[in-house]
Chain A
Amino acid sequence: MTLTFQPVRVVTGSDEEGLLVFDGELRLAAVLTYLSEQYDGISGHWYLEAGFGRLDRPGHPTFADLEEAQRWINQHLAKEV
């Protein structure tokens, strides 16, 4: 599925740089936030701030880069319930 990303600022207190992620039908599927320097091993990673539908699940993962985030999102959007 082709995902579309749209930059957005997120009010999280510290990490503001984020992306809205839309699915192939341009429905909002997730919000990703870029982790700033305050996180020991995972600064610079992308964090699943919020997921909707099949992406609404406990345990918000972090991704080393956007490609990894995209793979994970596609995988879970495609998953049969």
Chain B
Amino acid sequence: MQIAVIKEGQDVVREGDRPSRSCLLLSGFACVYKVTGDGKRQIVGFSIPGDIPDLQSLHLKVLDNSVSTLTPCQVGFITHDALRDICERYPRITVAFWRETLVDAAIFREWVTNVGRRDAYSRIAHVLCEMLVRLKAIGLAEDHACDLPITQVEFADAVGVSTVHVNRVLQDMRADGLIETKGTQVSVPDRERLKHVGDFDPSYLHLEQDQAAA
């Protein structure tokens, strides 16, 4: 595995690429995104350490999305030859990769529902809940708090509203006591309330019972 440190806001892979390797995020935050014909970005998922956001390129030759860093990231590049070799020798790893891509698909289904059918306040609450649960599962969140270096512009592109709207929703959430923020630290005084507001049920993340309890 070749390890690289990549600055924030850099594309790791781009739509249309034909990669011969996949990237394992070792540290930092990244996002998977697409761009419309007139240049508007839609973030379709956030990637956190442990994710392989372009694992599909092992079997799908041409990438249909881009992956960009949101913060400085440490990324491990694993060649497709090495991945194929691992899969042939260790069937359990093959199963784990398959499961990973199925969970990714479940997250995408949830995000389509989120962007298409919830109001902005719920959308943002939902994404906050998801990030808290996923970060807690990898030990990067306390019970009620985590470091979430996602900007308002990135939130806007993830939930399909304007930056102005995200700004207002976050102000409202603070005023309503749903979240407290200090720099990039977000804490949630009452997780159950945030889950209720965000219409959030962690089942789609398919975590083990104790991980999903976040």
Contacts and interface: CB of A to CB of B under 8 A. Distances in A.
A6 interface: no
A60 B165 contact: yes
A58 B172 contact: no
B167 A59 contact: no
Interface residues of A, number: 13
Main secondary structure of the interface of B (DSSP, over half): helix
Contacts of A58: 40, 160
A39 B153 CA distance: 12
Interface of B: 40, 160, 162-165, 167-168, 171-172
A38 interface: yes
24 contacts: A12-B168, A13-B168, A13-B171, A13-B172, A14-B168, A14-B171, A15-B168, A35-B164, A38-B167, A38-B171, A39-B164, A39-B167, A42-B163, A42-B164, A47-B162, A47-B164, A58-B40, A58-B160, A59-B40, A59-B162, A60-B162, A60-B164, A60-B165, A62-B164
Contacts of B164: 35, 39, 42, 47, 60, 62
Nearest to B170: A38
Nearest to B161: A60
Contacts of A59: 40, 162
Interface of A: 12-15, 35, 38-39, 42, 47, 58-60, 62
Contacts of A14: 168, 171
A75 B202 CA distance: 45
A15 B172 CA distance: 13
A12 B40 CA distance: 25
A45 B167 CA distance: 14
Nearest to A33: B164
Nearest to B167: A39
A57 to B, nearest CB: 10
Nearest to A49: B164
